[in-house]
Amino acid sequence: MAGIGPQDVDVAELYDAYTGAELQAISAYGLAAPERVGLQDFGAADRLAVNLSGGLLGQGSAPGATGIAWVVALARILTGLLAAIGANPALRAGRRPWRSRHRVDRDGDGTAAVTIPLSMTLRYNHPLGARSPYFEGLSGGRAIASRCAVCGCGWFPPRHCCGTGFHWEDLPGAGTVVAATDGFALVAMDGARNLALAKLREPAQAGVRVRIVQAAGPVEHPAQASLFQVETGNCIASE
Ligand SMILES: [Zn+2]
C-alpha cells in the first residue's frame, strides 16, 4: 500500500510467536510474493534479513519483555549497519551493508544464513499494579486475600466479585489440598472461596493440610516467593 517492497527493506522483525506466523507476515507486508515466501529467497537479486534477533520463538516469547528485546536488537543491528556505512564510504552506495559487516554461513541444507553476534541484558520492570498487596504477601510467605465488601467472600488469589468495593485481609495461611500432581497442588485456603495453585515443598495428596511459607533463596518474581509445606502432625481430613 505504501509502495514499499523488499528492495526498500534491509532488515525486518516480524511477529513469529506461532509456526507459520512469520511467513504469513512476510506475505502480508508484501516483502515477498506469496508463492516465494517459503523459499527463503524473496527477491530476484537479494535475500531479506528477517528476525535476526531470533524472533519471539527464539527469545522464549515472554510477553512484553520480547517486545522490548526486539527494539534493543533492532537498535543494535541498525547501529551496526550505520557504523559499517560510516567506516566504509563505499558501502553508502550498497543496498545491503549488513552483508559486508556480518558473516554469511551455510545452514545444514546448504542455504545461506547470516550470523550476527548479539548479546543483551534486559532489566524488565514488571508493575504489580492493583494486585501489589497480594504479591507483597507472597514475598513474605503470607496469604493476603481480597475480601468483598458486598458479599463478604474472600478470594486468594484476589478477584473482584460483586463490585469494586473490597479490602485486603491476611488469611491464617493454612489450607487443604484439593488435588495434587508432581510438585503442584490446588489448595483451598482457609477463609478463601476459590482455589489457589500452589507449589509444594514436599509431596501431598488430596485432603492434606498445608501452610504457606516463604521460599528459600532469591527468586525472579514474587509469584515464586512462596510455597506450601505439609503441616506437621496432620492427617488426611475425613468427610
Ligand atoms: Zn462479592
**83-140 tens-digit pLDDT:** 554 554 444 444 444 444 455 666 777 776 666 565 667 777 778 888 899 999 999 9
Q: How far is the CA of 160 from the centre of ligand 1 (A)?
A: 7
Q: How far is the CA of 146 from the centre of ligand 1 (A)?
A: 10
* Percent of the chain residues topping a pLDDT of 70: 75
Predicted pLDDT of residue 221: 85
Instruction: Write down the domain spans for the chain.
Output: 6-115, 129-142+171-230
162-200 pLDDT, tens per residue? 987 999 999 999 999 999 988 999 999 999 999 999 999
Cα separation, 99 vs 84, whole angstroms: 10
Q: How far is the CA of 225 from the centre of ligand 1 (A)?
A: 28
Q: How far is the CA of 227 from the centre of ligand 1 (A)?
A: 27
Q: How far is the CA of 149 from the centre of ligand 1 (A)?
A: 7
* Percent of the chain residues topping a pLDDT of 90: 34
Q: How far is the CA of 170 from the centre of ligand 1 (A)?
A: 17
Closest CA to 42 of 12, 72, 76, 73: 12
Predicted pLDDT of residue 206: 94
Cα separation, 197 vs 175, whole angstroms: 12
193-205 pLDDT, tens per residue? 999 999 999 999 9
- Sign of the C-alpha dihedral computed for residues 164, 168, 171 and 175 taken in this order: positive
Closest CA to 101 of 112, 119, 120, 88: 88
Fold classified for 129-142+171-230: OB fold (Dihydrolipoamide Acetyltransferase, E2P) (2.40.50)
pLDDT band per the 50, 70, 90 thresholds, residue 48: low
Predicted pLDDT of residue 105: 67
Q: Is the pLDDT of residue 41 over 60?
A: no
Kindly compute the dihedral angle of the four CA atoms of residues 203, 209, 215, 216, in this order, to the nearest 10 degrees: -70
